[in-house]
Amino acid sequence: MAGSPYASALGRLKPDFASFLPKETYPTLLATKDVGELAKALEATVYAADVAAERATRQGGQLVEAAVNRKLVQRNRRAYEATPFAGRLVVGAYLSRWDIQNVELILASKAQNRPLSETETEIVSSRDIPAGLYAGVMTLDDIRAVLAQPTVEATVSALAKFGYGTTILPYLETFQRTHDIFPIFHALDVQYFQDVRAAARFFQGDEWVVRLFLGSEIDQRNVLLLLKGKARGIPLDDVLGRWIDGGTLPAGPVADLYSARTVPELVERLAARSPSLAEGNAEFAESESLTGYESALLRDRVVAELKRMRTYPLSLGVVFAYLLLAETERSDLRRIAFGHAYHLPNDRIEPLLVSPRL
């Protein structure tokens, strides 16, 4: 393996692994009294330049959101540029997830008539470069042009020229009739996973690590779908209609799992797939929130995937380990910011964080 092209990727990314926030930083961030103080605390970390770049035009939650997204885009760029040519197809396809997320955010904002300024803040970009630029086809100007469309229908028409029309248009009539945006989101997600799994072919024999990585994300989504469906009383057929194929949990056994009478009973049946899942029972019992389950699923997945990918450092695994850590840190910082914004006590926020437990 000495001649592996990923030796260069490992060498380029290894110093950047040290830039992720250490575990000791999170108690300090949690101890901040509000989102404004959280932004100030981030100025003492690797996020200093990102906060400074956004402070002139934003404050509070919008400032933290923009700064955190900016850092994510920078890290995505480093990962893509460090990837050898043979792996760029799959890494590029994976990074197109941020184009998909931005498209879904824009469509949701149009469906809910949210203010343009509020939506723009949540777009995953560095305000100079959108996160999916290296993989997707939408520049920041393109995103702004789509954002400026007045309705969902006009937005869909604007998105058609970027290749999303084939995926979205078959569901537009259903949206106009029901005002349910979820079928469009589901179609976009299904297309995304099909594309990225197709890109993860076996060029050198090590892409199987990435295929397992993608499969575990699909499993996480599907398990959360089961929990949401049970919590909201959604019929089994509707749950299966929202299923995404490609994980290790096939749709076949779902009927038996879903026959559980309550969410905690369903959690018990799923325990073998996610050992920490039951940790979300307390949060659910107190507020009927699924956030604890979502955090437990993510934590189990991150721990398992990092362990597997670190076993194969001279492979695409090193790039995806870096990307996974970047996404997890973003998720944790956003959880702290949202927790402060909704005045949640620290003992409610802290158990939901993943990075301090890695």
The pLDDT score that the predictor gives to residue 129 is 54
Q: How far is CA 318 from CA 2, 8, 15, 311, in A?
A: 15, 11, 12, 9
Quick one: pLDDT at residue 1? 44
Name the token pair of 65: 């959101």
Closest alpha carbon to 348 in 273, 297, 287 = 287
The pLDDT of residue 3 is: 57
Give the pLDDT of residue 126: 47
Sketch the domain layout of the chain as residue ranges.
1-83+321-358, 87-202, 207-311
Q: What is the pLDDT of residue 137?
A: 60
For domain 207-311, the CATH class is: mainly alpha
- CA-closest candidate to residue 338, choices 23, 10, 77, 38: 38
Q: Which residues of the chain have pLDDT under 50?
A: 1-2, 126-127, 131-135
- The span from the first CA to the last CA of the chain, in angstroms, equals 28
Query: Are the C-beta atoms of 21 and 45 separated by less than 8 Å?
Result: yes
Same topology for domains 1-83+321-358 and 87-202, yes or no? no
The CA–CA distances, whole Å, from 300 to 1, 94, 219 equal 30, 21, 12
User: Could you tell me if 94 and 83 are in contact, meaning their C-beta atoms sit under 8 angstroms apart?
Assistant: no
* Torsion from C-alpha of 181, 188, 294, 308, nearest 10 degrees: 180
Task: Tell me yes or no: is domain 1-83+321-358 CATH 3.40.120.10.
Answer: no
Task: Answer whether 336's CB lies under 8 Å from 30's CB.
Answer: yes
Residue-wise pLDDT for 37-46, tens only, equals 999 999 999 9
| Architecture of the CATH domain 87-202 | Up-down Bundle (1.20)
Q: What are phi and psi of 107, to 5 degrees?
A: -65, -40
H helix runs in 96-151, sequence order: 97-112, 116-122, 140-147
pTM above 0.75, yes or no: yes
Residue 20 half-sphere exposure toward CB, CA atoms < 13 A? 21
